[in-house]
Amino acid sequence: MEVSSVTTQMTTQKMQQLRLDRHMFATSDDQYEMLKQVEATHAPDGRQFALKPLLYIIDDIFQRAAPSVPGFVQQGSTQAQQDIADDKAFLSGPFDMLDILSITINKVSCEISCKCSGTGGDAHATTLGIFNNFGSYAWDAKLVLAMAAFALKYGEFWLVAQLYSTNPLAKSVALLKQLPAILEKPADTILKSKFEALSNLIKAMLDVTKCILEFKELPSKYITPDTPEMVTATANIPTAVYWTIRSTVACSAQIMGLIGMGHECIASTAESWELSSLAHKLDSIHTLLKNQLNLCYKIIDEKTDIEAYQALVTLTEKPDIEKFLRALIYAKDDQLPLVEGCTGRRAGLDVLLRKKNVLLLISDLDISHDELFFLEQMYQESRQNPTKTESQYEVVWMPVVDRTTPWTEEMQKQFETIQSTMPWYSIYHPSMVDQAVIRYVKEFWNFKKKPILVVLDLQGKVVNTNALHMLWIWGSLAFPFSSSREEALWEEESWRLELLAGSVDAAIPVWIAEEKYICLYGGEDIEWIRKITKTAQEMAKVAGIPLELIYVGKINPKEKVRRNIAAIAAENLSHTLQDITQIWFFWVRLESMWQSKIKQGKSEEDDQIMQEIVTMLSFDGSGQGWAIICKGSEMAKSKGETILKCFGDYELWKSNAKDKGVICAINDHLHELYSPDHCNHLILPGTSGAIPEKIVCSECGQAMEKFIMYRCCTE
């Protein structure tokens, strides 16, 4: 019989079989019967095999098989990927297992070749024959073995194809298989589309296979076979295995159909339709299984998060610095979890275990430039003399990011920008902060939005859940930043200018040493500023006292305060804090004093410093200007028009000033000017603790009404 007539007969038989297969795709009853036949062959003997190494080899064959053939490039195959596959496949050591399985794999591979050699065999019958060969294996093993059997023939085919033009042996084998005609016309559109359909189906087969193996690897400690999500997946695995093995038969038929066809090779649309239909079916199966797998992973994540959280709680009760840090900071053997700020080098947790306190700076990605600026200043100052006691600590930034928000390139850039400005250690990436740790820092350390600085002593005991307030108020004097040190520092303090502003501007301590009168004033109204500075200077001149005025702006300074600083400097009205950052620091220190006192359970009713803090915050919340004038331990203060009038009324109280002193006389006159009619506002800083139930007015001592205010100020 001539080759052309054989080819025509074989093509006709294939078309008839494809029509049969279409019918089988469409009829659910037939599929049910087919699956019953498949399940009847299933009699596993309980043997277990390490299938992952074998799958690495299969994947490696598919990756390397076709990319070098002219006119056809297999998608997703790069040299780097092939090198990785090579490492996985040949360093995993599956050879003992292959000694056992290779005979079965070769046997099935030969059977598939015989039944797919263009005789028009029944695809379902061939598939069922494979299941009969694999009856004693588990579902996942059946699938991997069938994939290996197909990969064997697929790899052999493409090995000859790739070496055809350079290796005489390959060329001779190709001639016997009648492949030259195929290999010499790579531009053939029909052939190219056929190979693409084949490649797409192989990818779908691999996706399903890998997904099924993932189910087998799920930890039984966290998810059991009777979990509903696992029950659903398990019920669908036989179907998935059937259609994947059925696809290996279809792919084998396509490959075998090329052998011996020579110049008469015809790639029909119907054949491509079969491959595409199978690929679509496997994609749908993969989507279903992947969804179930993701649900299983979600359950596992929830249980492991609870377990990790409980471990952190236990370590809180029984401190161990190394264990606690390893629980807080993702630290696997193959990863260095930290980045050293000064060099950018990766580092392990051992750098934090050098008999030093560890300060955990916890924030989101919106930590302000001002906070970082002053933290860096204080950190660098402590490093100038590394042997000093107050230098014996390390800082680690722990970025906390909402896991429900997808990580974007913009967020990555924002993170890298912040990280690059930090001279201390930071966690390499926010993903290294587990969900259990995020829950822990929120519940145990009251982290909400604002940054906190958690202090661990040498043993790993948490000695302060937020030392940031201490650092703003006292700087390095706060070392070792414990709550007991915070309490001791407050016991030594009194309300004085050194506490209020001594560390904010270098000129203030000098003025104090020179025994000058110092007037701090704030607000946003530039006209009032012009009036108060002129009136105060005139009062000082007449009274014959050395007076220095300094502008300290307003909480959350914005453009108006910036313009005021420029105007005050241009008109030479007074001194000012250097810039917006310095003004921010003045007010954040005052807010920190309030936070620190609240943390200690103090109130303005029983704490004189707290009373003064509330007064200052009330001044700022009033929306007016205000001023405070000091000399030594004496102070006088009031809001805008009242203090302005008091300074202007010098002639009325100058005789009292000669007897009692200027500050005392100002206080007496302010008392005379006091009006019972007033409306004070107090805007409290955001607190990580409870909002005080009661705040009394700094003027009349009555309990203030409490309101909730939401503010958006974009000025």
**Both tokens of residue 130?**
């494979």
What's residue 700's pLDDT?
61
Rounded to an integer, what distance in angstroms lies between the CA atom of residue 303 and that of residue 299? 6
Structure tokens that stand for 522 in this block: 């704030």
Residue (of 204, 357, 407) closest to 287 by Cα position: 204
Q: 557: how many CB neighbours lie within 10 A of its CB?
A: 24
Structure tokens at 201: 């189906």
How many whole angstroms separate alpha carbon 528 and alpha carbon 571? 14
Taking alpha carbons only, the member of 619, 567, 617 closest to residue 594 is: 617
What's the pLDDT score for residue 269? 59
Q: Locate the domains of the chain by residue range.
A: 3-300, 321-478, 497-673
Peptide bond into 228 cis (omega under 30): no
| pLDDT, position 344 | 87
- Confidence (pLDDT) at 402: 86
Q: What is the mean pLDDT of residues 602-621?
A: 85
Dihedral angle over CA of 126, 131, 134, 136, nearest 10:
-150
Q: Are residues 398 and 360 in contact, defined by beta-carbon separation less than 8 angstroms?
A: yes
Of 8 and 572, the structure prediction assigns the larger pLDDT to 572
pLDDT at 97 over 50: yes
C-alpha 330 chain-centroid distance: 12
Residue 171 has pLDDT above 50, yes or no: yes
- Contact 429/339 with Cβ under 8 angstroms? no
Distance CA 526, CA 560 (A): 9
| Residue 211 pLDDT > 80 | yes
The DSSP call for residue 407 is P
What is the four-CA torsion angle of 361, 365, 367, 369, rounded to 10 degrees? 120
CB half-sphere exposure, 55, CA atoms < 13 A: 19
Task: Give the pLDDT score at 75.
Answer: 45
Q: pLDDT tens across 654-706, in order?
A: 999 998 999 999 999 998 887 766 666 666 666 555 566 667 665 666 676 66
Residue scoring higher pLDDT (624 or 365): 365
Q: 575: pLDDT confidence band, cut at 50, 70 and 90? A: very high
For residue 353, pLDDT beyond 50 = yes
21: pLDDT confidence band, cut at 50, 70 and 90? very low
Question: Coil, helix or strand for 427?
Answer: strand
pLDDT at site 449: 86
Which residue matches tokens 């396509």? 254
Residue 182 pLDDT grade (very low, low, confident, very high; cuts 50, 70, 90): low
In this prediction, residues 477-491 reach a mean pLDDT of 93
Residue of 603 and 429 predicted with greater confidence? 429
Q: Which of 39-53, 220-234, 393-407, 513-527 has the lowest mean pLDDT?
A: 39-53
Residue 14 has pLDDT above 80, yes or no: no
Q: Is 90 exceeded by the pLDDT of residue 172?
A: no
Spatial separation of the C-alpha atoms in residues 44 and 62, rounded to whole Å: 28
The whole-number average pLDDT for the span 126-152 is 90
- List the single range of 235-244, 577-586, 615-624, 694-703 with lowest mean pLDDT: 694-703
CATH class entry, domain 321-478? alpha beta
497-673 and 321-478 share a CATH fold: yes
Does 284 score more than 50 pLDDT? yes
Least reliable range by pLDDT among 64-78, 552-566, 616-630: 64-78
> Can you give the pLDDT at residue 7?
42
**Residue predicted with more confidence, 436 or 177:** 436
The average pLDDT across 499-518 equals 91
Q: In what order do the strands lie in the sheet with 634-639?
A: 575-576, 547-551, 517-522, 626-631, 634-639
Label residue 263 by pLDDT band (50, 70, 90). very low
Q: Considering the domain 497-673 in this protein, what is its CATH number?
A: 3.40.30
Cα–Cα distance measured from residue 20 to residue 26, given in angstroms and rounded to the nearest whole number: 10
Q: How large a percentage of the chain has pLDDT more than 90? A: 43
What secondary structure does DSSP assign to 616-629, as a single string?
Answer: HHHHHHTSS-EEEE
Amino acid at 154: Y
- Pairing relation of β-strands 393-399 and 357-363? parallel
Q: pLDDT at residue 86 above 70? A: no
pLDDT reading at 241 higher than 50: yes
d(CA 303, CA 221): 10
532 pLDDT band, cuts 50/70/90, is very high
Show the tokens assigned to 541: 């001149």
Q: Decide if pLDDT at 220 tops 60.
A: yes
Take residue 131 and report the two structure tokens written for it. 């299941």
Cβ contacts of residue 298 below 8 Å, gap of 6+?
A: none
Average pLDDT value for residue range 477-503? 92
Orientation angle between helical segments 139-163 and 51-65, nearest 10 degrees: 30
Amino acid sitting at position 538:
E
Mean pLDDT of the chain: 83
Categorize the per-residue pLDDT at 8 as very low, low, confident or very high, splitting at 50, 70 and 90.
very low
Confidence band (pLDDT; 50, 70, 90) for 6?
A: very low
CA within 13 Å, CB half, 419: 21
